[in-house]
Amino acid sequence: MSEALVAVEVPGASASGTSGARQFRRRLRAQRAALVAAAVVALLALIAVAAPLLTAIEGQDPTTYHPSLVDSARGGVPIGSFGGASAEHWLGVEPQTGRDLFARLVYGARVSLGVALGATAVQILLGVVVGITAALGNRWVDQLLSRISDIIVAMPLMIMALALLAVVPGSFPRPVLVALIIGFVAWGTIAKITRAATLTLKQLDYVAAARLSGWSTLRIARRELLPGLAAPVITYAALMVPVNIGIEASLSFLGVGVKPPTPSWGQMLSSADVWYQAAPQYLLLPAGALFVTVLALTVLGDGVRTALDPRTASRLRVGTGHKGEAKA
Amino acid sequence: MTGFTGFALRRAVGAIVTLLAISVIVYVVFYATPGDVAQITCGPRCSPAQVHQVAQQLKLDDPLYVRYWHFLQGVVAGQDYSTGTSVERCSAPCLGLSYRSDRQVMQIILGKLPVSLSLVLGAMVLWLLLGVGTGVLSAWRRGRLTERALTGVTLAGVATPSFVIGLVLMIVVCGQLELLPFPEYVPLSADPEQWMWNLLLPWLTLALGEAAYFARLTRASMLETLAEDHIRTFRAYGVGERSIVGRHALRGALAPIIALNANDVGAMVGGAVLTETLFGLPGIGQELVHAVNVVDLPVVVGMVLVIGFFVVLANAVADVLYAVADRRVVLT
Amino acid sequence: MSLVRVTDLTVEFGGLTAVDGLSFELAPGAALALVGESGSGKSTVASALLGLHRGTGARVGGSVEVAGTDVQRASEDELRRLRGGKAAMVFQDPLSSLDPYYAVGDQIAEVYRVHTRASRRAARARAVEVLDRVGIPDAPRRARSRPHEFSGGMRQRALIAMALACEPDLLIADEPTTALDVTVQAQILDLLHTLRAETGMGLLLVTHDVGVAAESVGEVLVMRHGRVVEHGPVGAVLGSPTQAYTRELLDAVPRVDAPRAPSQPSEEIVLEATGLRREFGRGKRAFAAVDDVSLRVHRGETLGIVGESGSGKTTLGRMLVGLLEPTAGQVRYDGHARVGVNRAVQMVFQDPVSSLNPRRSVGESIADPLRARGERDEQRIRGRVTELLERVGLEGAHYDRYPHEFSGGQRQRVGIARALAADPRVIVCDEPVSALDVTTQAQVVALLAELQRELGLALVFVAHDLAVVRRVSDRVAVMRQGRIVESGPADEVYDNPQALYTKQLLAAVPALDPEVAARRRTARREPAAL
């Protein structure tokens, strides 16, 4: 597999290799878009955490059917304007079932963010362990683990997740299962990144100096290597979260991810195309929620990357000599 | 050139080994899972006797490695199946029989392949043109309004799941504006024009998100190349911006684009599943979702392997292309 | 009329003034060197001559006139005609300065076509012509090779060929030989000299190396902090400098012909290597970086190991401290065979940036050997580290600071303190001063000598710089392609070299005296004179 995508830059290998948490925050703060995105993400996280509270304030829950609120004669279209929006049901109700849309939406945020974070955690754990082992192990260990990582990278993620979801018994808690499966089929890239970063770090003189001090390999790995890996791993994780959200939504959309009655944005969309004329908010709300969430997380991920790898960013800002030429 | 031939050969052997490894993993994962395959296959209302009969028919009592060996034999040399009364010949490469329909898995896949290939190859052309073109334009007009607008558009493209793009396209183009009929697959051999019009929306659905992704990558690697020392050399020698961006920066971005394209074949197949399901195209993806829902394991395994084959093939080809594109790569 | 006229040039980046009110002139065909240490602003001046600061956010004041073009006011088109057409630039790193994807000849042809509207075929022919001119053998074929297929020296020749393509009036060379070995450097400097004699173009040389300047130019301009310190004919400035900084700079330059004060090493052998060999790669690609090297290090002496890139000197150094295991042979410490690292044999590394963990305070890094030894008493660790920091010329209060708060020289001092913390008897210094400015170099070298006298340390000093090695070493070993070609007492090896390679090396070292330099150049042209 080509190494181009995993050519990571390790702070400390560079001329101004300093990356204190303080500097990181300062650089992140310098990016307005990333700040706005961070605020949006924080708000979404708050909504997800406070979902029971929010629905309690509204006085609804995501699973109760309200047959009286839909017009069964017209196939289950919500009664009233704006999809049946009212003081009791802030965003209206679901077609056919009459379940409260606001409640399903905020609980959907819970599933979306929870599954994505869980999957990312699994990916990082597996990837970092495999990557470090490959980089520090002997030639054979490295060969074997690198080949396996290559295979994992090459395997079509959606297909594997889709197929795996078929064989696991239905009694397993579905959101946890989805998170685990997304995690298990998509750790290859992070393993390759970790391996490349570890190999770069291993070459650095300060690691050699630590060996000369008389420290054991384990201690060197913990004290000198792991902190250096934080930047590339965090960067990748930040970019992975929105991708995982998309995967969960896609799987649920196909009907193999999170299953009813647990609400999920992707699952809501799977039947929305039928209702777009009668109840457009049933399509627009989950689609909008997905869009905003993924967008905010992507912008935040870009910001984190810029903050953690400022050299790339500053290289891209100066010395290209184009802006001035336009003025001249 | 012997070094290069050797490299290509080694890469081919590597691809075969990878494919074997994938088949082992897939086989073990699917047939060694906790669920009782016979019970699932027979259905929830089967009596224990019926379940036992199914298990025997499917040879589920044999150890796993024996079954895998039979499976491999089938792939390499073909296999005969008794379907109660008659014997059916399943010629190589044989991926077994469906639990549900007794049809040969390979036949099912071959029947669906043209649809999926039409979808994927067409979309690939579209996203490479759109993506790389947008990326080059962004890099060329960097710092200007054009770049900012394109950055915003590509960001939105990356942030929208492909099935949402598809939903919106379908509702707006077919439902509201009625510019196109709802897509329905027409074989290329039957009517090329209808084939194209009907696949237009699925292509866009699959291509737009990927194109946005490629545009971002192209822009980023071109900007990175533009910051390199050799670009400074050409500036210091009076070479114009057009040649610097179009010749030197684009050439530098080519290798990462090829590499990403290969890595992305997997993601693209996933996108194809969604697109086929969304538009009701009778391709591999739709069949796979169906097989997953009815737990038809031979079909699932067969499809994963066929898809894996294409992915590994694409990767091997891309690696060779990459080595050609970036002659600095040491051929090992 | 002057070829270059710079009046009151000021360049600011952000709030930082890189060049501050600089003025100088260069007559057609003349050669001027801008000499200074890092941060003196000399490269910034070179870029300003071609207007390369446009669009980078730098603020440029004053006026710059090159070959009749007012660089500050010129239009884009005028500027493009100047760049490469009338004034061409040669950069420091020849590998990264060429596009890796295109053939060298095509890149030269592209530049030529920008300025001449020649046909493709004519441009290719011109490329081959100039490549041949700069001494690339088999130029028609080599013109089709990509940069990575060239050696470092050949690449620099190719860049010079690109500069020559449009027959410019002025050649700007920004550290053109810094990335090259000393023998290759001599060849490139000779080439520049010959080309200048033949074409009559002017030369503006930017360099940190006073010797390189003495070899190549008629006039020198010494810069510091963006200002002129001293400006005049090269013989006068280097022979009888009037400014304190120039004198300081010249005193700090190590000289290959100055013997070192004799020391009294003991006869006791602390470190001994026998038949060391180290291979890298496997199968057909295997090669021996170090091949059958034996050496001894006595208590209290300095053994200098000198060699060009690829000579295996770094690999040898790493085997001596146990960071690399030899493929064959043995390292004996105090008479006992040794495997792996040993606290008594420490190392000082080349790169002051990568040798300290950026995430740990320097005090913590220095304390590593103490903690690894099992010391748990925080009070005593802090006490000892403070003592070591003060010993290497830093302050005890620096304990809690991080590496990025220090300059290169200070970081190297931290590295020395860390090595000392292990109470070593031998320190292997791998190019310890090659990343430092000459004045800092002199200070670090002096510190090492002082510590050696005080603690009776044995030093192994690995370096490519012959002059630095002579300044510090009692005995010297010259390495080439993994083997030691000559070894012995430093004065003998330097004053009366036996091996042909040693003679070539010494002949290639730039001389500080322009007259000596000219004599040497003639001598290099007639190899029989060696």
Sheet containing C202-207: order of strands? C87-90, C170-174, C202-207, C31-35, C219-224, C227-233
Subunits close to A (at least 3 CB pairs below 8 A): B, C
Q: Which residue of C has its CA nearest to A211?
A: C341
pLDDT band for B263, please (50, 70, 90 cuts).
Answer: low
Tell which residue, A318, B236, A314, has the closest CA to residue C56.
A318
Question: What is the C-alpha to C-alpha distance for residues C225 and A39, in angstroms, rounded to an integer?
Answer: 45
Question: What is the C-alpha to C-alpha distance for residues A202 and A121, in angstroms, rounded to an integer?
Answer: 25
A319–chain C Cβ distance below 8 A for any pair? yes
Contact B237 C162 (CB under 8 A): yes
Tell me the pLDDT of chain B averaged across its residues: 81
pLDDT digits (tens, 9 = 90+) for C203-234: 999 999 998 998 889 999 999 999 999 999 99
Tell which residue, C280, C254, C290, C225, has the closest CA to residue C469.
C254
**What residue ranges in C349-457 does DSSP mark as E strands?**
426-430
pLDDT given for residue B328 in this prediction = 54
pLDDT given for residue A16 in this prediction = 37
Stretch C279-289: mean pLDDT = 82
**What residue ranges in C67-218 does DSSP mark as E strands?**
69-70, 87-90, 170-174, 202-207
Non-local (6+) Cβ contacts of B324 within 8 A are none
B33–chain A Cβ distance below 8 A for any pair? yes
Three-state DSSP class for residue C34: strand
Beta strand pairing call for C59-66 and A70-71 = unpaired
Q: What's CA C163's distance to the chain center, in Å?
A: 23
- DSSP states along C117-130: ---HHHHHHHHHHH
Share of chain A above pLDDT 90, in %: 15
Chain A CB contacts of B267 below 8 Å: 156-158
Q: How far is A208 from chain C (nearest CA, A)?
A: 7
Subunits close to B (at least 3 CB pairs below 8 A): A, C
C24–chain A Cβ distance below 8 A for any pair? no
Tell me the pLDDT of chain A averaged across its residues: 78
Q: How far is B230 from chain C (nearest CA, A)?
A: 4
Chain A CB contacts of C372 below 8 Å: 213-215
Three-state DSSP class for residue C429: strand
Nearest-CB residue to B235 (from C52, C99, C159): C52
Q: Give yes or no for residue C64 having a pLDDT over 60.
A: yes
Interface test with A, best of B163, B173, B241, B331 (most A CBs within 10 A): B163
Chain B CB contacts of A256 below 8 Å: 289, 292-293
Contact B236 C82 (CB under 8 A): no
- Asked if C346 and C427 count as a contact pair (C-beta separation under 8 A), the reply is yes
pLDDT band for A17, please (50, 70, 90 cuts).
Answer: very low
C240 burial (CB, 10 Å; 0-12 / 13-18 / 19+) is exposed
pLDDT given for residue A325 in this prediction = 29
Non-local (6+) Cβ contacts of C84 within 8 A are B236, B237, B238, B239, C111, C114, C115, C163, C165, C166, C168
Question: What is the C-alpha to C-alpha distance for residues B108 and B113, in angstroms, rounded to an integer?
Answer: 9
Neighbours of A261 (CB within 10 A): 11
Exposure letters C277-287 (e unless 16+ CB within 10 A, then b)? bbeeeeeeeee
Contact C351 A205 (CB under 8 A): yes
Stretch B171-192: mean pLDDT = 78
Subunits close to C (at least 3 CB pairs below 8 A): A, B
Find the range with the poorest average confidence among A39-53, A87-101, A261-275.
A87-101
- Cα three-residue angle A216-A219-A224, rounded to 5 degrees: 115
Question: What is the C-alpha to C-alpha distance for residues A241 and C471, in angstroms, rounded to an integer?
Answer: 58
Q: How far is C339 from chain A (nearest CA, A)?
A: 13
pLDDT given for residue A324 in this prediction = 28
Question: What is the C-alpha to C-alpha distance for residues B203 and B127, in angstroms, rounded to an integer?
Answer: 9
C80–chain A Cβ distance below 8 A for any pair? no
Beta strand pairing call for A70-71 and C202-207 = unpaired
pLDDT given for residue B40 in this prediction = 66
Contact B255 A157 (CB under 8 A): no
- Amino acid identity, position B57: Q
Chain B CB contacts of A249 below 8 Å: 161, 163
Helix (H) or strand (E) holding C278: strand C269-280
pLDDT band for A116, please (50, 70, 90 cuts).
Answer: very high
Q: What's CA A154's distance to the chain center, in Å?
A: 20
Contact A294 B33 (CB under 8 A): no
pLDDT digits (tens, 9 = 90+) for C30-59: 999 999 988 888 999 999 999 988 877 788
Residue length of chain C: 530
Partners of C488 in the beta sheet?
C476
Tell me the pLDDT of chain C averaged across its residues: 90
- Asked if A212 and C321 count as a contact pair (C-beta separation under 8 A), the reply is yes
| Higher per-residue pLDDT: C160 or B19 | C160
Q: Give yes or no for residue B244 having a pLDDT over 50.
A: yes
Q: How far is B320 from chain A (nearest CA, A)?
A: 10
Question: What is the C-alpha to C-alpha distance for residues A29 and A221, in angstroms, rounded to an integer?
Answer: 31
Chain B CB contacts of A254 below 8 Å: 273-274, 277, 289
- DSSP states along B160-192: S-HHHHHHHHIIIIIIIS--SPPP----TTT-H
Exposure letters B243-263 (e unless 16+ CB within 10 A, then b)? ebbebbbbbbbbbbbbbbbbb
Question: What is the C-alpha to C-alpha distance for residues A234 and C42, in angstroms, rounded to an integer?
Answer: 40
| Higher per-residue pLDDT: A321 or B285 | B285
Q: Give yes or no for residue C305 having a pLDDT over 80.
A: yes
Chain B CB contacts of A299 below 8 Å: 155
pLDDT given for residue B83 in this prediction = 62
Task: For CA atoms C256, C262, C263, C267, give the dihedral sign.
Answer: positive
Tokens 């042979």, residue located = C329
- Asked if A279 and A77 count as a contact pair (C-beta separation under 8 A), the reply is yes
Question: What is the C-alpha to C-alpha distance for residues A202 and A12, in angstroms, rounded to an integer?
Answer: 12
pLDDT digits (tens, 9 = 90+) for A153-209: 777 777 778 777 767 766 778 888 899 989 988 888 889 889 988 888 888 899 999
pLDDT digits (tens, 9 = 90+) for C311-336: 999 999 999 999 989 999 999 988 88
Contact A324 C422 (CB under 8 A): no
Q: What's CA A217's distance to the chain center, in Å?
A: 33
Question: What is the C-alpha to C-alpha distance for residues C523 and A313, in angstroms, rounded to an integer?
Answer: 50
Q: Which residue of A has its CA nearest to B277?
A: A254
pLDDT digits (tens, 9 = 90+) for A126-168: 999 999 999 888 888 988 898 888 878 777 777 778 777 767 7
ipTM, interface predicted TM-score of the complex:
0.83
Chain C CB contacts of A22 below 8 Å: none
Tell which residue, A128, A127, A64, has the closest CA to residue A93.
A64
Interface test with C, best of B7, B10, B225, B237 (most C CBs within 10 A): B237
- Asked if C223 and C35 count as a contact pair (C-beta separation under 8 A), the reply is yes
Task: For CA atoms B57, B60, B64, B66, give the dihedral sign.
Answer: negative
DSSP state of B197: H
Three-state DSSP class for residue C40: coil
Residue B239 to residues A160, C71, C76, C102, C116: CA-CA distances in angstroms? 50, 17, 11, 15, 12
Contact C373 A214 (CB under 8 A): yes
Tell which residue, C510, C455, C113, C493, has the closest CA to residue C299.
C455
pLDDT given for residue A20 in this prediction = 59
- Asked if B241 and A130 count as a contact pair (C-beta separation under 8 A), the reply is no
- Asked if A208 and C430 count as a contact pair (C-beta separation under 8 A), the reply is no
Question: What is the C-alpha to C-alpha distance for residues A26 and C404, in angstroms, rounded to an integer?
Answer: 17
Neighbours of C303 (CB within 10 A): 27
Nearest-CB residue to B227 (from A2, A163, A319): A319
Contact A2 B258 (CB under 8 A): yes
Neighbours of A311 (CB within 10 A): 14
Retrieve residue C482's tokens.
Answer: 């993994």
- Asked if B217 and B135 count as a contact pair (C-beta separation under 8 A), the reply is yes
- Asked if C390 and C423 count as a contact pair (C-beta separation under 8 A), the reply is no
Contact C56 A321 (CB under 8 A): yes
- Asked if C51 and C223 count as a contact pair (C-beta separation under 8 A), the reply is no
Q: How far is A26 from chain B (nearest CA, A)?
A: 23
Q: Give yes or no for residue A69 having a pLDDT over 80.
A: no
Non-local (6+) Cβ contacts of B16 within 8 A are none
Question: What is the C-alpha to C-alpha distance for residues C16 and C59, in angstroms, rounded to an integer?
Answer: 10
Residue length of chain A: 328
- C residues 37-56 closer than 8 Å to A (CB): 52, 54-56
Three-state DSSP class for residue C279: strand
Nearest-CB residue to B237 (from C84, C93, C100): C84
Tell which residue, C471, C473, C446, has the closest CA to residue C392.
C446
pLDDT band for A30, please (50, 70, 90 cuts).
Answer: low
